[in-house]
Every structure is written in C-alpha cells, then in structure tokens.
Amino acid sequence: MKHLFNLTFLLLSALVLLFIVIPLVGLFGGVGWSALFTAFRDSEIMGSVWLTMKVSFYGTCLILVTGLPLAYLIARHDFRGKSFVESLIDIPVMLPHTAAGIALLVAFNRGVMDDIFKSLGIRIVDTEAGIMIAMMFLSAPFLINGAKEGFKNVDPKLENVARTLGAGRFAVFFRVVLPNARREIVNGMLMMWSRGLGEFGAVVIIAYHPMVAPVLIYDRFNNYGLTYSAPVAAVMIAVSLSTFLLVRWVNNRKRV
C-alpha cells in the first residue's frame, strides 16, 4: 500500500515536471547551437532582450519603493477596508492582459493623467515609459504579496525591542524588518521582474515599438515563421532563466 502511494505520487510528479521541461529542451534542441550562437550576436535580438530586462528591472525598482510600505502596512495593521485593499492589489493578476493594456491606454493617454504626464515630459505610446507602466501594472502583485508574506514572518516583538534600544521607526524598518524579510522581498522582486519579461498582451497595445523580446518573437513569428522566431525565444529564455537562477541561488544561500 505504502509502495503504491509513493509510486503513484512520484509518477504524477514526474509527469508535471516533464511537462515543464520538455518545451524548454525541445526549444533549445530544435534551434541548435549554431542558430543560438548567431542569435546571441544579432544586435536586434540582444538589444530587445536587454531592453526587456532593463525596463522590467526599472519597473520592479519603482514598485519596490511604493509597494514595500504598502505591503508593510497590510502585514502589520488591521484596518477597515483591508481586505478590499488586498483584493485591489490582486486585480491585475485576474485581468486579461490585452484588456489591461486598453485600460492603461485609456487612463494614462487621455484627460488629466495625460496632461500630468505631458507636463512631466513623459509619453506613453511607443515608449519605454509605456512599456514599463504595462509591466508594472500587471506584475506588481507578485512583489507586493511576496513582501507582505515576508513582513508577516517578522516577529513584531523584534521591532518592539529595537525601539526600546533607541531605534526610531525608520531605523527599525531598515535595520530589523527589511533584513529579516529580505528573502521573501528579493523572491518577490524576482517574480515581478520575470513576470515583466514575459509581458506581451498589454505591452503590445501600448508600445509595439521599441520591441521588447515577447513582441519581437511575435513579430518574427508572424512575418518570417518559426525558424526566425525560435532563436529569439531561446535567447530570451536562456538569459532570463540564468539571471533568475543566479539571483535565487544567491538569495537563498544563507538562511536569513
């Protein structure tokens, strides 16, 4: 009975793991080393990959500055409307991405918001700023929710003790809360950043150009077919996966 249980679970687990691994292996196998190597030297592909990674990183940093205080407030306080605020944060995850793109375009490219952006010299359509807004909107929940869990795991007594030792609220946050929630925050950043790399639906509506990697893959697939789009996909996966694994490894190396 025990063997049957173990065998069933192992088999089912192996199936789902294979399901995840096969497309990746298939992609790299199908593309081949020589096409992959050529793709790595293609300035359009590398420019697009770099742009994607850079813009997603900037968006992650912006959400870090505003999302951490929000995550902390939610983790530490009970207030009226808290569950409403929490649902609000999760809304982008539930939206169809193209619909989100339309919503962003309507909200930020018209009326008051458009005036504000214009006065700041920011344009949304077909710019890096527009791409960043799309990425931020759809992937911010990953960072905020990750940080919220991290803050919840920090014992409030640590903060109390730190205050009696002379540290003010900001010092306690930076010297006690952040270091102890670091792992979840960095993982949340990583999730947000990776999610931003893959953002297509909303980005394509706001900014077809400059082309982020998912748009470039789509563009090449549409115009030239699989042979020209697969190497871009392989490069994008190789670069983002190695960055993801490296950061995760460094972050999880020590317990705290």
Partner 1 sequence: MLELRKIGLRKGAFALRQVSLAVPERDYFVILGRTGSGKTLLLETIAGLHRHTGAISFRGREITGVPPERRRVGFVYQDFALFPHLSVTGNIRFSDRYREQAGRIAWQELIDSLDLGELLERDIRYLSGGEKQRVALARAIYSRPDILLLDEPLSAIDPGFRTQIMENLKDLKRRFEVTVIHVTHNFHEAAYLADRIGIMLDGKLVQQGAVQEVLHRPASIPVARFLGYRNILPQRLIDPHAAAGHFALNAAQIRVDTPPVGDDYSMYGVCRERNEGVNHYELVVEADGCPVVVRLTKQSIDPVRVGPGATVQLSFPRSAVTFFPPAESPDEAPV
Closest CB to partner 1 among residues 16, 256: 256
The least distance separating partner 1 from the CB of residue 172, rounded to whole angstroms, comes to 9
The least distance separating partner 1 from the CB of residue 13, rounded to whole angstroms, comes to 31
Are 139 and 196 in contact by the 8 Å Cβ rule? The answer is yes
Are 147 and 185 in contact by the 8 Å Cβ rule? The answer is yes
Closest CB to partner 1 among residues 176, 191: 176
Distances (CA, A) of 60 to 47, 68, 105: 20, 11, 20
The least distance separating partner 1 from the CB of residue 145, rounded to whole angstroms, comes to 22
Closest CB to partner 1 among residues 245, 250: 250
The least distance separating partner 1 from the CB of residue 167, rounded to whole angstroms, comes to 6
Distances (CA, A) of 34 to 39, 120, 164, 168, 206: 9, 46, 63, 58, 34
- As to burial, measured by CB atoms within 10 angstroms (0-12 exposed, 13-18 middle, 19+ buried), residue 233 is buried
Closest CB to partner 1 among residues 162, 206: 162
Chain residues in the site for partner 1 (CB under 8 A): 155, 157-158, 160-168, 171, 175-176, 179-180, 255-256
Distance of alpha carbon 227 from alpha carbon 237, whole angstroms = 16
